[in-house]
Amino acid sequence: MRRRHNPGPIRATSMWRVDQVFLTQQASRIEVTCSLVNDRGGLRNLRLVAPTADPVRALEYAAHHVAGAGNVSSCSGARVRWTRAQLVTEQDELIRDTALETAFADAFEETLQEVRDRLR
C-alpha cells in the first residue's frame, strides 16, 4: 500500500489564490486538484476526490473545501482543465473547460462570503 504524504495545513502566514483546477474522471468519481499560489511565489496542490461523477457538483465540492480553509483569498482567473489518462498529443493532454470555470468561481465566491459572514 502506497502512503500519501500529507503536507499539513496551508500556511496561514500567506494568502493563497487558486490558479488552476484539474479534473480527472475516475470511474464514478472525479478527482479535483487545485493548484494554489501565494504572494511569496509558493505553490501548493490540494487534491480531493469528489463523491460524484457530475463535474459541476465536483467543482462545487472542491470550491467549498478550498474556500472554507480561510486563507485562500481568490480564484479570479482560475483555469479549469480536464486531464486525460492517455496522451494523444501534448496539446490534447489538458483540455480547458471555460463553462466549468464559471461554476467553480461562483461556488468559491459563495463559500468565501459565508466564511467572511461567520467571522463578523
Instruction: For strands 16-26 and 79-83, give the pairing.
Output: parallel
pTM passes above 0.85: no
Q: CATH no. for residue 108?
A: 3.30.420
Task: Output the pLDDT for position 39.
Answer: 83
Has residue 4 been placed in a domain? no
Task: Output the pLDDT for position 36.
Answer: 94
Task: Output the pLDDT for position 115.
Answer: 85
CA distance 61 to 1: 27
Has residue 23 been placed in a domain? yes
CA distance 29 to 100: 16
Has residue 3 been placed in a domain? no
Has residue 53 been placed in a domain? yes
Write out residues in the chain with pLDDT < 50, as ranges. Answer: 1-8, 86-87, 89
Has residue 2 been placed in a domain? no
pLDDT, the chain, mean:
83
CA distance 49 to 31: 4
Has residue 7 been placed in a domain? no
Quick one: cell of 99? 463553462
Show the domain range for 58. 16-119
Has residue 81 been placed in a domain? yes
Quick one: cell of 33? 486538484
Look at the block and give the residue holding cell 459563495. Answer: 110
Has residue 6 been placed in a domain? no
Task: Output the pLDDT for position 19.
Answer: 94
Task: Output the pLDDT for position 40.
Answer: 84
Question: Total domain count for the chain?
Answer: 1
